Amino acid sequence: MSPWASGRADAIVQFVQAEPVDGVPCFGLGCAVQEALRGQGLGRRTVANALAELQHGLRRSNLKKYYLEAIVSPSNTPSNKLAARFISDAPVSGTGDVSGEPALQCLKLFDSEAG
């Protein structure tokens, strides 16, 4: 059965424009996997595919440098693993701007000019 047959996606990834970092554009990364499907590597595969698509699209633009950011609750182990794999395994502790709760920020500069 197609994952679309139920009208629900198994997993989603979104990139949203965040505040620039030192004048360089920044995209926030968000990922969600249906609860019944967690723990099977679906989030990892979906983020990898979405990131490849983002990079492919941005290579066709004039945007040569950008940051990717994930803001994650310290207690969200699966999301922290994804952020460490794709962004940074050295998060910075802080407080979420919206939630006011403890948060970890993973940030990575992508530079197509660096090769």
Burial of 23 from C-beta contacts in 10 A (0-12 / 13-18 / 19+): exposed
Q: 3-state DSSP call for residue 59?
A: helix
Given pLDDT bands bounded at 50, 70 and 90, which one contains residue 8? confident
111: β partners: 65
Q: Does 6 reside within a domain?
A: no
* Through-space distance between the first and last CA atoms of the chain, rounded to whole angstroms: 41
Q: Does 57 reside within a domain?
A: yes
Q: Does 2 reside within a domain?
A: no
Q: Does 51 reside within a domain?
A: yes
Q: Does 4 reside within a domain?
A: no
Q: Does 101 reside within a domain?
A: yes
Q: How many domains does the chain have?
A: 1
Q: pTM for this structure?
A: 0.86
Of the CA atoms within 13 Å of residue 71, those in its CB half-sphere come to 17
Q: What is the pLDDT of residue 65?
A: 94
Residue range of the domain that includes 25: 11-111
pLDDT in tens, 22-81: 999 999 999 999 999 999 999 999 999 999 999 988 888 888 899 999 999 999 999 999
Angle between helices 42-59 and 77-86 (to 10 degrees): 40
Distance, in Å, from the CA atom of 51 to the CA atom of 72, rounded to the nearest integer, reads: 18
Q: Which of 93, 89, 73 is nearest to 81 (CA)?
A: 89
Q: Does 5 reside within a domain?
A: no
Res 3 pLDDT > 60: no
Q: Does 45 reside within a domain?
A: yes
Q: In what order do the strands lie in the sheet with 92-95?
A: 11-21, 24-33, 65-72, 102-111, 92-95
CATH of the domain at 103: 3.40.630.30
pLDDT in tens, 68-107: 999 999 999 999 999 999 999 999 999 988 888 999 999 9
